[in-house]
């Protein structure tokens, strides 16, 4: 579903109810500006993101992390390279 920002403002209750079962895209000047999703969908997306970051952490642990000292040296090197 897609609505204008004015429609979203004028019919917020209806729009919020619609977001319970579908994503509502809110446009401003004809361009997507925001999206309204259900709390359940937000929780699902956050869980997916959490699993993604956990998998990256697992892969990092298996391949070996840089030590704190190595990380600090790398950051200093990157900053000095930028000038």
Phi and psi at 35, nearest 5°, equal: -135, 140
The per-residue pLDDT for range 13-40, each reduced to its tens digit, is 999 999 999 999 999 999 999 999 999 9
Give me the residue spans of the domains in the chain: 2-37, 40-82
Strand partners, 26: 3, 34
Of 12-16, 51-55, 67-71, which gets the smallest average pLDDT?
67-71
Closest CA to 18 of 46, 48, 40, 38: 38
Strand partners, 4: 27
Token pair for 44: 């699902």
């Amino acid at each position: 579903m897609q609505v204008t920002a004015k429609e979203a403002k004028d019919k917020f209750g209806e729009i919020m109810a619609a977001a319970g079962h579908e994503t509502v895209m809110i446009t401003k000047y004809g361009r997507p500006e925001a999206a309204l999703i259900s709390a359940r969908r937000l929780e699902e997306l956050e869980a997916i993101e959490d699993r993604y970051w956990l998998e990256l952490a697992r892969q990092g642990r298996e391949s070996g992390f840089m030590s704190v000292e190595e990380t600090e040296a790398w950051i200093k090197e990157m900053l000095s390279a930028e000038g």
